[in-house]
Amino acid sequence: MYGVFQDRTDYYTFIPMNNLYFKYYQRHPKNICADSGYGIHINYKYLREHHIGNYVKFQTWSGEASGKSPQLFYTFNDGVMCLDTCIGKEIPFNQNYHQRNKEGKLFKFIGCNNCKYAYKCKAKLKHKDYDYRTVELIPDYELLKEEARNNLQSPKGIEMRINRSIQAEGTFGQIKNNMNYDRIRRRGLENVSVEIMLMCLGVNLRKYFLSLDDNKFKNNYWKIPTTLHKEIFPSVKPKEKRLSRN
């Protein structure tokens, strides 16, 4: 399937693209694997609504994978807990804390002055004399991110991530370098859509004729070895707060 959109970011092309897929095939994919450019709340809710396996990276994925920006908050039942196992208390928004997302909730975490993970926390401390931090979170989004995280770290998720790189990124490389198609020649959304459709058709025909030469269709799908285990992100090392000298 292909689609041409005029959005400046990938965020809002995810749902229209999948709706086009459903329009032509009358079914949704079993699973979807995508990079962090699509990992926002509305797209995750779309996957859940249509019972599609969520293998879509979220925006902080690379930071969590490297350990530079670890997961700071965890959801359980209807509550939220920080990295230091402090349970957040939901508080109302006021003139000092304006709601940024209509589904967002404001949580207050107490005991931050002695937190061993404060050096990693991005929630701002209002004042050094106040022993708490406030952060706006969307609990449902955190739950869906946890689902995506577990799926992506699983052996199946590793397999899908590698194959996405091979198939999607590899195809773009073939089009740009081997087929010398590095820019769009036409103007207007309809004309560009036709041009992209013809290019996609050309890519498929090229694959077909190459397979005829070899008497077999090349399957570039990488299969996961049975010895591969779940990916584990680097753990965060706690730091003791240094005492100031008088």
- 150 and 129 housed in the same domain: no
User: What's the Cα-to-Cα distance from 10 to each of 7, 56, 141, rounded to whole Å?
Assistant: 7, 13, 18
Assess if residue 244 is contained within a domain.
no
Assess if residue 232 is contained within a domain.
no
- 184 and 90 housed in the same domain: no
Assess if residue 3 is contained within a domain.
no
- 47 and 77 housed in the same domain: no
Assess if residue 160 is contained within a domain.
yes
Confidence of residue 125 (pLDDT cuts 50, 70, 90): low
Claim: this prediction has a pTM higher than 0.85: yes
- Determine the Cα–Cα distance for residues 59 and 42; give it in Å rounded to an integer: 13
Structure tokens at 98: 């304006």
CA-atom Rg of the chain in angstroms? 23
Number of domains the chain is built from: 2
- 48 and 153 housed in the same domain: yes
Segment 152-188, tens digit of pLDDT: 999 999 999 999 988 888 888 888 888 888 889 999 9
Residue 224 has pLDDT above 80, yes or no: yes
Assess if residue 54 is contained within a domain.
yes
Indicate the residue among 103, 137, 171 that finishes a domain: 137
Contacts of 241 (CB under 8 A, 6+ apart): 113, 114, 116, 118
Segment 32-78, tens digit of pLDDT: 999 999 999 999 999 999 999 999 999 999 999 998 888 988 888 77
Instruction: Count CA within 13 A, CB hemisphere, residue 140.
Output: 12
- Determine the Cα–Cα distance for residues 3 and 33; give it in Å rounded to an integer: 17
- 123 and 148 housed in the same domain: no
Assess if residue 243 is contained within a domain.
no
Owning domain of residue 98: 72-137
